[in-house]
Amino acid sequence: MLQNSMLHIIRKTLPKVFPITLLEAKSFLRIRHNTDDDLIMNLIAISSEYAQWYMEKSLMKQQWQLSCYGSIPQKLQLPFNPIINILSVKIINSDHSETIVPTRNYYIDLYQSSITFNSIMYVNRIDIIYEAGYSTDIIPMQIKHGILHHVAISYKNRESETINSLNFIKDMYSPFRELKLVL
């Protein structure tokens, strides 16, 4: 969950599959037995989550809710792209009643991962629920490779209390992070 004074984002649904399979991870680790399958699946889940939060991208299809409070900007950037579609846009009034915003009142830019409203809204809160994520066949190979390395490092060092190899993995994910300017 990320939050600042105006924006609040939560994940509504978890992905149903991971970017890499158990078979791919076991092949990468050169494991031929089934003894550690549960452990490896947990490491795949943890490594996928780490990649997703580090890059701020939805690796697999999932739903997010972005809530904006107070003065609503006309254009909002939707985090955890790539955006698949907008499921709903609701205004939450000060009396807690809800009003659905018709699709004709906003424009979705899937490439820029943004939503632009036709006019500035002066409302208490707006909730945008959207789907985002890659399909399994188009996740960049470099991201998959980073997840495999993270699984391997975690598997081989599971007895250790500290793992200092995450900088190598972060370097693999860095090209997929978006540049952010703080003014």
pLDDT digits (tens, 9 = 90+) for 81-101: 999 999 999 998 888 889 999
* CATH number for position 36: 1.10.3230
Same domain, 103 and 152: no
pLDDT tens, residue by residue, 36-92: 999 999 999 999 999 999 999 999 999 999 999 877 889 999 999 999 999 999 998
Sign of CA dihedral 131, 137, 138, 143: positive
**pLDDT higher than threshold 70 for residue 181:** no
Q: Domain total for the chain?
A: 2
Say if residue 76 is in the same domain as residue 19.
Answer: no
CA dist 89 and 95 (Å) reads: 18
Domain check: are 53 and 70 in the same one? no
Instruction: Looking at the chain, list the stretches that DSSP marks H as alpha helix, in order from N- to C-terminal side.
Output: 22-29, 37-55, 141-156, 166-173
Structure tokens at 181: 């300017």
Beta sheet of 75-77, edge-to-edge order: 75-77, 114-117, 106-109
Q: Which domain holds residue 86?
A: 62-132
